[in-house]
Amino acid sequence: MLGSDLCKLFSEKYEILATDLSSRISQKWNCGAKIMEMDVRDYEKINSAFQLFRPDFAIHLAAKTDVDGCESDVDGAYGTNTIGTKNIALACRKFNSVMVYISTGSVFDGEKEVPYTEFDIPNPMSIYSKSKYEGELMVQKLLNRFFIFRAGWMFGGGKEDKKFVAKILDLAMARDELKVVNDKFGSPTYTKDISKGIMTMINSEVYGLYHMVNPGYCSRYECAEKILEFAKIQKCRLIPINSDEFPLPAKRPRMEALRNYHLELIGMNIMRPWKEALEEYINEIA
């Protein structure tokens, strides 16, 4: 999803080494990159890859993202999201590579009424969010040349998309009625847009922690409304509900929307409004 869009964009200018848990799924990247099998928990394998490839930049996307699964697999969450991130940071320090780490808006507790900025203090609620935040701290402790980008609710990837947008489209085509949570708020983030934003930033050398989302925010219900509107699906009726009706193992913040405040302050916020980005994406895949 984000990886394939980054790969396509960066391959126009850079030589790319794409890594995955299995080197056999090269079709997922679809950008002509070299493919290497990699587990970020294996520092020796990472060290060998850096020794061989000598990257100028290491864009770290690997993560255990099953939020509820992390609650029952705490070792897996911290092993991948925290120690795996530490391993990449150590290799970047050893080989003088710039590290790019993708984090999440869910590092906050959701108590604010407006989107979070980079100057708000994180207070993660779930194992997933805690492990991602600890990854952020590892990067900041070990490196001087790094970018941490906190993203929002990702959409993109076309046929590879298995997240919210794709799920809503599939369900709306199959059902006459669909219940969607209306009391959780976030920032939709188009993978093509954040890929362009990342390229702009790494060429700037303005290192640091940034929020990078498509501006504006919405509830899951409001997002679903726009998905159906842009896809011109009229036969499915959306019903707003409270998240209490869908109890889940992991705590989710009520508000995890982000504001690209740091980017705004330095005049480098190139991200367009989320509705505009979502409409383009829906038109591409419809």
Tell me if 9 is assigned to some domain: yes
Phi and psi at 213, nearest 5°, equal: -135, 165
Measure the CA–CA gap between 99 and 267, rounded to whole angstroms: 22
Structure tokens at 84: 């795996």
**CA torsion sign, 215 to 213 to 135 to 110?**
positive
pLDDT, tens only, 60-71: 999 999 999 999
What was the pLDDT predicted at 196? 98
Our count of domains for the chain comes to 1
- Whole-structure pTM value: 0.95
Supply the range of the domain harboring residue 34: 2-161+189-216+257-272
CA-nearest of 265, 192, 196, 217 to 116 is: 217
What was the pLDDT predicted at 162? 75
* Spans of the chain below 50 pLDDT: none
Beta-carbon contacts of residue 101 (< 8 Å; ≥ 6 apart) = 60, 85, 88, 135, 136, 139, 146, 147, 148, 149
What was the pLDDT predicted at 231? 96
Domain harbouring 139, CATH code: 3.40.50.720
What was the pLDDT predicted at 23? 54
Tell me if 174 is assigned to some domain: no
Tell me if 249 is assigned to some domain: no
Tell me if 231 is assigned to some domain: no
Spatial strand order in the sheet of 146-151: 57-60, 98-104, 146-151, 208-211
What was the pLDDT predicted at 77? 98
Tell me if 143 is assigned to some domain: yes
Q: How many helices (H) and strands (E) does the chain have?
A: 11, 12
Tell me if 286 is assigned to some domain: no
What was the pLDDT predicted at 163? 84
What was the pLDDT predicted at 157? 85
**19-25 LR contacts (CB < 8 Å, sep 24+):** 19/49, 19/62
What was the pLDDT predicted at 89? 99
